[in-house]
């Protein structure tokens, strides 16, 4: 496990994704429904930044073609994306958000 600091908790507005780069990996950090999630920022369908999309029902929607990815599992809710996007473990410590991009929680199916 290699948690690195992503941002302050206070920087996260509810349902507004924040893009950060951690060890060269683009990550979208999302605070929603009282929890903080970290998902790879690149859509699995094409090279599009998910942090520019909207968050609803614990999903982040790709703005280009509308596939929404579950922030807990990374799985797409529907086409055109068919593959999940990696989601990463999050730890909150002393008001800071830490993410481990070496440990994807997503299960390829
Ligand atoms: S680029 Fe994300 S759904 Fe097509």
pLDDT per residue as tens digits for the range 53-89? 999 999 999 999 999 999 999 999 999 999 999 999 9
**pLDDT value at 5 more than 90:** yes
Domain chopping of the chain, boundaries: 4-99
Q: What is the residue with the minimal CA distance to atom 3 of ligand 1?
A: 65
pLDDT band at 1 (very low <50, low <70, confident <90, very high): low
pLDDT at 106: 83
Respond yes or no on whether the N-terminal peptide bond of residue 9 is cis (omega within 30° of 0).
no
pLDDT grade for 9, boundaries at 50, 70 and 90: very high
Please choose, from the candidates 71, 64, 61, 37, the residue with its C-alpha nearest in 3D space to the C-alpha of residue 48.
64
The dihedral of CA 32, 33, 36, 39: what is its sign?
negative
Average pLDDT over residues 90-99: 96
Cβ–ligand 1 contact at 44 (below 6 Å): no
Instruction: Provide the 10 A C-beta neighbour count for residue 54.
Output: 13
Ligand 1 within 6 A of CB of 52: no
With 0-12 CB in 10 A as exposed, 13-18 as middle and 19+ as buried, what is 105? middle
Q: Which CATH superfamily is domain 4-99 in?
A: Rieske [2Fe-2S] iron-sulphur domain (2.102.10.10)
């Amino acid at each position: 496990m290699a948690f690195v600091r992503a941002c302050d908790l206070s920087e996260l507005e509810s349902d507004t994704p924040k893009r950060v780069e951690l060890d060269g990996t683009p990550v979208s950090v999302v605070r929603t429904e009282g929890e903080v999630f970290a998902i790879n920022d690149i859509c699995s369908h094409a090279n599009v930044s998910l942090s520019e999309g909207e968050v609803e029902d614990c999903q982040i929607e790709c703005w280009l073609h509308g596939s929404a990815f579950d922030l807990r599992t990374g799985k797409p809710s529907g086409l055109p994306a068919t593959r999940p996007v990696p989601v990463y473990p999050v730890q909150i410590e002393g008001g800071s958000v830490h993410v481990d991009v070496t440990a994807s929680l997503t299960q390829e199916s």
